[in-house]
Amino acid sequence: MLWKLLQLFSITLLMITGSYCASGQDAIPVEIVVTGKQPGPPMWRVINGDNTLYIFAWLSPIPKNIFWESERVEAVIAQAQEYIPMPDADVSVSPLVMFNPINIFRGARLGKRLTRNEDKATLEEVLPADLYARYSRLKTRYFPRKKDIDMLRPLVAGRRMMDHIEEAAGLSPAKDVGKKIRRLVRRNRNITVTEVTYETRLKGGFRDLANRVETMLDSMPWEKELSCFERQLSIMEEDIGEMQYRASTWAQGYIEEFKFIPLPGDEDDDCTQLIANSSEREMYEDITGSLEKMWLEAARNALANNEVTFAVLEFNELLLEDGLLNQLKKMGYEVIEP
């Protein structure tokens, strides 16, 4: 959830300045992981007397072109009285700001400036020599034609680099999994959908919001930005195989193997801390705290009132010591692993 929120801030605020764009699809393939029909992701059960909360383990990215057996999920959703989707945040701006034709041009210029290094410096010029050498090796292997990344500041370049390498490694976002779950939920016409969503609209005109973006980026310590970039390099150099294996075990429904693979999204890592300690810290803490409280309240109400409830949570929340599942366990609910 933490990395997703970091992306949320970056994408939402940078959209105001017209600087967010897709990563592209021209990475060089290096390996395709599990494809074809698989048993499907595991589900946890939380028990309160005769009532059961089934939790589907959400993982992204996952193997491309995968078809997982959905019979178990279908059976649970068909009986469920309630569905609790993953916690989410909806941070928006006024349509008058977002779609003003003048702001589109102003935003494109401002976004280009904010996502690049000062004085139009390249990554080779701003990165320590050892970091640039490591980045250059990855670029040569995975995305040699993407010269535009070299002009981005490390905060933006690191995420774009990871997108290309995940694509090349046979991994893709789990959008189709979400679509399938939503289709199954719509089939149950008696099910109640309880959204856990934090909604807020950023106030102000274009200039106010642009200043807010600039303030946020300026408040991120350069040392932390470099540490975040170094962490992203390490993940792509050393952990891409573990990411593939993690996705494969998820697809096949194995949990024991998954437990021993390091999970991303540690609250102490520098990438998370970039936003957690920026000028947007108060908003960040409000979102994370509110979503946690809202989800736990929804889960407890469901366990008190429904024989069967189906929910979706990120894998991290099911395995981390301070994750939402362990918080339910500390409240006295029985938790049964798959």
Question: How many contiguous H segments (helices) and E segments (strands) does the chain have?
Answer: 16, 12
- Other Cβ atoms less than 10 A from the Cβ of 45: the count is 15
- Residue 331, φ and ψ in degrees, nearest 5: -80, -5
Instruction: Kindly report the average pLDDT of the chain as a whole number.
Output: 82
The whole-angstrom separation of Cα 32 and Cα 111 is 35
* 26 three-state secondary structure: coil
The whole-angstrom separation of Cα 149 and Cα 196 is 36
**Above 50 in pLDDT, residue 80?**
yes
247: pLDDT confidence band, cut at 50, 70 and 90?
A: confident
Residue among 58, 5, 55 at smallest CA distance from 328: 55
Q: 171-172 and 62-63 as β-strands: parallel, antiparallel, unpaired? A: antiparallel
Contact 228, 270 (CB under 8 A): yes
Residue among 224, 228, 230, 326 at smallest CA distance from 277: 224
* 199 three-state secondary structure: strand
Mean pLDDT of the region 173-198: 92
The whole-angstrom separation of Cα 330 and Cα 305 is 20
The whole-angstrom separation of Cα 60 and Cα 11 is 18
38: pLDDT confidence band, cut at 50, 70 and 90?
A: low
Mean pLDDT of the region 1-8: 44
Mean pLDDT of the region 48-70: 85
More confident residue, 120 or 247: 120
Compute CA distances 154 → 122, 159, 308, 319, whole Å. 10, 9, 46, 30
Sign, CA dihedral 245-71-314-172, equals positive
More confident residue, 136 or 36: 136
Sign, CA dihedral 277-232-12-287, equals negative
The whole-angstrom separation of Cα 236 and Cα 291 is 30
Q: 36-38 and 82-84 as β-strands: parallel, antiparallel, unpaired? A: unpaired
Write down the pLDDT at residue 192. Answer: 97
Write down the pLDDT at residue 265. Answer: 53
The whole-angstrom separation of Cα 253 and Cα 68 is 9
* Cα Rg of the chain, angstroms: 21
pTM reported for the whole predicted model: 0.83
**Above 50 in pLDDT, residue 275?**
yes
The whole-angstrom separation of Cα 143 and Cα 164 is 7
Contact 241, 55 (CB under 8 A): no
259: pLDDT confidence band, cut at 50, 70 and 90?
A: low
Write down the pLDDT at residue 285. Answer: 86
List the structure tokens of 59: 């993982």
Write down the pLDDT at residue 264. Answer: 54
Compute CA distances 77 → 37, 55, 154, 310, 311, whole Å. 20, 11, 43, 6, 9
29: pLDDT confidence band, cut at 50, 70 and 90?
A: very low
- Other Cβ atoms less than 10 A from the Cβ of 122: the count is 15
- Residue 195, φ and ψ in degrees, nearest 5: -75, 135
